[in-house]
Amino acid sequence: MSALLPNRLRLLCALILIFFAFNQTIAQQLTGFTLIDADSDQDIGPIRNGDIINLAKLPSRKLNIRANTNPYPVGSVVFDFEGQVRFQVENVAPYALFKDALGDYYDGPLTVGQYDLAATAYAGSNGTGNTAGIYAINFQIIDDPNAGEVPPPPPPAPSCGALPAPWATTDFGNAGGEACFENGIFKITAAGADIWGGSDGFRFVHQTLNCDGELEIIARVNDLVKTHTWAKAGVMIRQSLTANSAHAIMVLTPDNGASLQYRQATGALSEHQQTTGVTVPKWVRLLKKGTALE
């Protein structure tokens, strides 16, 4: 696959090298739970897996639990509680285990005992559409005024290290996500609206390059989570860090093979050349020779 670079892109040759991952529909994700004082409708604090909650030390015994999501809001949140699947389905934020009326939280039956709680955020209403999976915890409630403070569990260790200089990560359109680097591998958790049309919205890792002469970018895509048939991972040459910039990208997708996509001028509509039947893991490459790209 090859394409001609437009004259404008060739003349304004301060290019950006981008290794990126993209979810065409943002993966709806549960990020945690918060214990709520249903008397005051105020947050008491986070509830983590393994926590012990002492009723005797709380400002109120009327309690609720809110599910927190990324992005916010989402289409719906489905709670599973104490073995009951779809115990509560919330289509409007805040997403409360024991329901609420526009942020006025109702109190629920949280008494002394051990509890299993899980929730899933969905893009659509009533538990339909895209999701990043279930978030589950187990916690205990006690009622002992003489008990000491129970320290929270330590935060989880980061999955990998910081990006090496001069690499950096950012996004277009508040896409969300993060990136790290370990043992020569970039790991990107990403979301976005699309890399297509006249403007883009996605998470990426980048550095600035001088594009005089020949330029070659090679990367191996080891894994790509199927959040959409057109989820994308690969390499990009981009004219600037603006959402509607001219660019060329070589991507792999879960169901649509490999695709060379390009926008020939700032704000122009995207074009592409596609090869079906190609799946990860695979190497991807962009090679610029003069005004030609392949």
Rounded Cα–Cα distance for residues 33 and 96 (Å): 10
pLDDT band at residue 17 using 50, 70 and 90 as cut-offs: very low
Determine the average pLDDT of the residues in 52-72.
91
Residues 18-32: pLDDT tens digits? 545 544 444 567 888
pLDDT band at residue 81 using 50, 70 and 90 as cut-offs: very high
- Is the same domain home to 37 and 128? yes
The alpha carbon dihedral of 246, 249, 253, 257 has a sign of: positive
- Is the same domain home to 80 and 100? yes
Q: Is the pTM of this model over 0.75?
A: no
Flag the least confident range among 153-162, 205-214, 244-253: 153-162
- Is the same domain home to 178 and 124? no
Q: What is the DSSP letter of 7?
A: H
Rounded Cα–Cα distance for residues 105 and 99 (Å): 6
- Is the same domain home to 174 and 282? yes
The label of the residue with tokens 């403007």 reads 199
Query: What's the total number of domains in the chain?
Result: 2
- Domain range for 85: 29-142
- Specify the higher pLDDT residue, 115 or 289: 115
Mean pLDDT, rounded, of the chain: 81
- Is the same domain home to 21 and 34? no
Assess whether pLDDT exceeds 50 at residue 118: yes
The whole-angstrom distance between residue 169's C-alpha and the CA centroid of its chain comes to 13
Q: What is the pLDDT of residue 31?
A: 84
The label of the residue with tokens 């994700």 reads 29
pLDDT band at residue 37 using 50, 70 and 90 as cut-offs: very high
Determine the average pLDDT of the residues in 149-177.
68
52-54 vs 95-96, strand pairing mode: unpaired
The alpha carbon dihedral of 89, 225, 179, 152 has a sign of: positive
- Is the same domain home to 164 and 278? yes
Assess whether pLDDT exceeds 80 at residue 177: no
- Is the same domain home to 287 and 171? yes
